Chain A
Amino acid sequence: MSQLPQEEIEKVRSILGREPNETELGIFTVMWSEHCSYKSSRIHLKKLPTKSDRVLVGPGENAGIIDIGADKDGHRYAIAFKIESHNHPSFIEPFQGAATGVGGILRDIFTMGARPIAVMDAIRFGPMDDPQHGDRNRRIVTGVVEGIAHYGNCFGVPTVGGETVFESCYNGNPLVNVFALGIFRHDEIFLGQATGVGNPVIYVGAKTGRDGIHGASMASAEFTEESKQKRPNVQVGDPFMEKLLLEACIEAMHTGAIVGIQDMGAAGLTCSTCEMGSRAGTGIEIDLAQVPQRETGMTPYEIMLSESQERMLLVAAKGREEEVFAVFRKWGLDAVTVGTVTDTAKLIVRNHGELVADIPNRELADEAPLYDRPHGVAAYRPAPMETPKFASKDLNADLLTLVASADLCSKRWIWQQYDYTVRTNTLAGPGGDAAVIRIKETGTSVAMSLDGNGRYCVLSPREGARLMVAECCRNLSVVGAEPVAATNNLNFGNPERPEIMAQLVEAIEGLGEACAFFDTPITGGNVSLYNETLGDAIWPTPVLGVVGLLATAPPVTIAFKNEDRTILLIGGRGSSPDSINETRFGGTKYGKYVIKSLWGLPPALDMDYEKRVQKATREIVRAGLAESAHDIGDGGLAVALAECCAGGIGAQVTLETTLRPELALFHEGPSRVVISTSDVAAIEKIARENSIECARLGSTLGVGAAARLQVSGNGTVWIDRPVSQLREVWESALENLLAPDKVSPVHG
């Protein structure tokens, strides 16, 4: 069992004025775990922007909420969204770990009254072809994807996008970050507050078992050899139960008899009781004998700390319990009064009347020790500044290597296992720059993008975090959406090591600066620390989810649509030697897969220029001037062009550049978007008005078997491949990597 450090036990003694008993100590241990209390990150998280005119509920609740406008009758609508990690459980038990990660974030959304309408996942694994860990990594990939599919598909929420990345640093510590978003009216918002002294506290949903005890504490510790024995700490999910819970909760909320509600996630009954009491400044008194139990002989300690899934705690208006019970009966779910709201500001837990815990709510929920952990050293950086010598032997082969790489290949094998069309709102699903979900009620749509880049962040956590914000906002702009708010998932190593803590602080500061600049306040999120196995930390991996708004319309997508269209590069070629150079090439996918090295710094970002590019892109897309639009990201211009061709239409592109071909084709300088159009003049005008470059690259050419991607630079042919070959390699790579034995060896 995890233990509180000695000084924290002292603090517990002083809060209670006596020795804690075993149950109380267990309660403090989970509530003051890193996972629940954010004790290492909280003082730095205060640096993040959290407010705007649209933000209705910011950090501190189960999810952030923003206003998205009114329907034609004047009812105002809002969306709730949040991202959360399930990293540690997904390593120990990939299928259930990932499945319950989806379940947990969905409850965070509907506990606020919102109906979940979209899920996205940012998942990171060790390489599938890792000589030592490849077998295990492939099993984890398969298990995580099946787990996400199992839960989301059955629950009936579309999984509409995300990202999948492979790096050796995730060999012993995969990352599973799940984002969910829900919709409701302003007058349907519920908060996790236990208000109204004398009101009944009602337990609803699945029965409590011994699963997941101390999951939150496990998620707050490094992995050791013993960690694999913690499989019983991983919860087991039942998406059918969750679907019933969703429908029952929303129906019960509509009765008007519910005053507050919170899901039982990490730290289960403990967390939901003390947090609801703390937020309302009230006390809660419960008797565990009333709690529906799946197993016999459970101790108070086990009941309080169980992380059994699909459970909620709600506070009803006194005298209206029966209205709530009737709804849950209809859905075949347990609903039992387990206690009452009191005026003592204390969490009082009894078991068959016998007092087993007596703790002040606020001190327990909100006064965990905060640490300003030492970080006055250089952030850990396992890479040199010097550029290794490199020279391409064959640019065509380099492009094929990149489109066949695990990071850049099509993820169709993954997202075809997710139901991304259920609920009939998906205007743009997986595989695009951003997902777009229409809101039937309002005539507006919500676009969302998830992004992270551990490779950039390990070179510079601050610059990497800023690039991540820019990338997400650019992804939204490409589909015509205005970025309005964000949620973040900070995945880092052990914060007790100053060089790791320095990564965390720098990343938060970079994130805060960029989110303020791009007007995307952070409305909530999750911090996952101690992502280390046997002393090896993951790279600093902040992941950001940004949501944006646009008028509902047929979406603009990546693939070229017609021949003989002009291909434009909004933002220009980025040929300034100050920003595009070999040092800034060290974090690229070309560096990773072709040069097989990591060095230097991430691409340079000019935030002011980036913002103008995004604004111009939105204007172009919204005016219907772009037949296709694609943000240039990982893999640079050449990979972006290959992706634009994947629909079967070729391209002929000419670059005039002072850059060497590897850089010209594959540098990952931000602030660039590829557009195909039949109205060049109108787009160039918008570019001029926004003081940004707009380069004519060439034209779309050839369809079907005749389609080729041809890129010439300074009069030399650099790339010339049939589109059919690029597409075949791009689409089959993931499946081949997952089943290396199935690929027949090539013999001469």
Chain B
Amino acid sequence: MRFGVVVFPGSNCDHDAWYAVSQNLGQSAEFIWHDSPNLNNVDAVILPGGFSYGDYLRCGAIAKFSKVMGAVRKFADEGGMVLGICNGFQILVESGMLPGALLRNRDLRFVCRDVTLRIETTNSPFTSAATKGQMIRVPVAHGEGCYFADDRTLDELEGEDRVIVRYVDNPNGSLRDIAGICSAKRNVMGLMPHPERASDALLGSTEGRVILQSMLQSLVIK
């Protein structure tokens, strides 16, 4: 399967996502430059972490205007799988492809550490290879990862089973411990933690791999 990793100016986890997909998962992965009008017919898209366009104004606020995001939106509308990690999640939220907002962390400080996530549903192409309630140990590294939405939206997310992963030890003050959510059509997911950084046994954990593997499995079935 071919994964496309979008590179915005200021992306800095693009190579990590590429490495996890190509070296740890053994799939084909290619970079897609931010001013590309198309996605080169990839099977799935990853919006990687980093500081797109310096995160000026607000995290992800400028990236949503980039040319490639038009193609990403179209791809998602047609049912294509899009995974936004960290800054990628912020971009999806700013683009309106996912609801809510990501605010500054509760402690007002950048936080980098391993957190434990609970997989809340396997009813998504990003967790279909996992088991419900499965705990995975994955790093976070962000300054603005506090998930916020109004109560109605939060209720809706929960009612529609769209909260995909929750923090067991909430590092940033996210409402209802939300670490990752998916779109109504379930083919777009954003999460703050970095599954691509927990995909290589040498780095101490391969527990993040289940998300990438689920995507792969979903693509094969499709």
Contacts and interface: CB of A to CB of B under 8 A. Distances in A.
A416 B202 contact: no
A440 B109 CA distance: 31
Interface stretch (A118-126, A420-428, A622-630): A420-428
A427 B196 CA distance: 15
A539 interface: no
Given A332-B9, A421-B197, A424-B196, A240 B54 contact: yes
B12 A422 contact: yes
B50 A419 contact: no
Interface residues of A, number: 31
Given A149-B110, A419-B112, A243 B16 contact: no
A104 B141 CA distance: 23
A156 interface: yes
Given A244-B9, A422-B141, A552-B202, A156 B112 contact: no
B202 A438 contact: yes
Nearest to B203: A424
Interface string A118-151: 0000000000000000000000000000100100
3 tightest Cβ-Cβ pairs between the two chains A and B: A156-B12, A240-B54, A419-B141
A424 B200 contact: yes
A426 B197 CA distance: 10
Given A243-B10, A421-B194, A153 B15 contact: no
Nearest to B141: A419
Interface in B1-40: 9-10, 12-13, 15-16, 19-20, 23
Interface string B136-153: 000101010000000000
A416 B54 CA distance: 21
A181 to B, nearest CB: 17
Contacts of B89: none
A156 B141 contact: no
26 contacts: A149-B110, A153-B51, A153-B112, A156-B12, A156-B50, A240-B53, A240-B55, A243-B10, A244-B9, A416-B109, A416-B112, A417-B111, A417-B112, A421-B112, A421-B141, A422-B141, A422-B197, A423-B16, A424-B16, A424-B203, A426-B203, A427-B202, A438-B202, A553-B202, A554-B201, A554-B204
B113 interface: yes
Given A154-B55, A552-B202, 16 more contacts: A154-B54, A155-B12, A239-B51, A239-B54, A243-B10, A243-B12, A244-B10, A416-B112, A418-B110, A419-B110, A421-B194, A422-B13, A424-B20, A427-B202, A427-B203, A440-B19
Most buried by A among B12, B49, B196: B12
Contacts of A358: none
Interface of A: 146, 149, 153-156, 238-241, 243-244, 331-332, 415-424, 426-427, 438, 440, 552-554
Contacts of A440: 19, 23
B35 to A, nearest CB: 9
Contact of B19 (A153, A238, A331, A424): A424
A419 B109 CA distance: 12
B60 to A, nearest CB: 14
Contacts of A420: 112
B56 interface: yes
Contacts of A332: 9
A290 to B, nearest CB: 25
A156 B54 CA distance: 11
A195 B112 CA distance: 44
Contacts of B113: 416
A238 B12 contact: no
Interface of B: 9-10, 12-13, 15-16, 19-20, 23, 49-51, 53-56, 109-113, 139, 141, 143, 194, 196-197, 199-204
B51 to A, nearest CB: 5
Nearest to A157: B12
A436 B109 CA distance: 25
Contacts of B197: 421-422, 424
B139 A421 contact: yes
Contacts of A418: 110, 112
A426 B204 CA distance: 10
Nearest to A429: B112
Contacts of B13: 156, 422
Contacts of B9: 240, 243-244, 331-332
Contacts of A155: 12
Nearest to B20: A424
Nearest to A150: B110
A689 B202 CA distance: 32
Contacts of A415: 112
A423 B10 CA distance: 14
A554 B112 contact: no
Nearest to A552: B202
A416 B111 contact: yes
Most buried by A among B56, B112, B203: B112
A238 B112 contact: no
A425 to B, nearest CB: 8
A32 to B, nearest CB: 37
A417 B109 contact: yes
A554 B206 CA distance: 13
A665 to B, nearest CB: 32
B10 A240 contact: yes
Contact of B10 (A146, A149, A154, A422): A154
A553 B199 CA distance: 16
A427 B13 CA distance: 17
Nearest to B196: A424
A259 B133 CA distance: 57
Nearest to B56: A240
B40 to A, nearest CB: 18
A532 to B, nearest CB: 33
Contacts of B51: 153-154, 156, 239-240, 243
Contacts of A421: 112, 139, 141, 194, 197, 203
A96 B13 CA distance: 25
A240 B62 CA distance: 13
A585 to B, nearest CB: 37
B89 to A, nearest CB: 16
Most buried by B among A424, A426, A438, A440: A424
A185 B151 CA distance: 54
A238 B141 CA distance: 20
Most buried by B among A146, A156, A553: A156
A417 B54 contact: no
Nearest to A244: B9
A153 B110 contact: yes
A417 B111 CA distance: 5
A418 B111 CA distance: 7
Nearest to B10: A240
A421 B142 CA distance: 12
A438 B201 CA distance: 13
A239 B143 CA distance: 15
A27 to B, nearest CB: 33
Contacts of A438: 202
A238 B53 CA distance: 11
B8 to A, nearest CB: 11
A395 B50 CA distance: 48
A417 B13 CA distance: 17
B103 to A, nearest CB: 17
Nearest to B109: A417
Contacts of B112: 153, 415-421
Contacts of A424: 16, 19-20, 196-197, 199-200, 203
Contacts of A419: 110, 112, 141
A535 B23 CA distance: 58
A423 B15 CA distance: 7
Contacts of B139: 421
Contacts of A153: 51, 110, 112, 141, 143
A600 to B, nearest CB: 40
A593 to B, nearest CB: 27
A19 B9 CA distance: 48
A90 to B, nearest CB: 19
Nearest to B7: A247
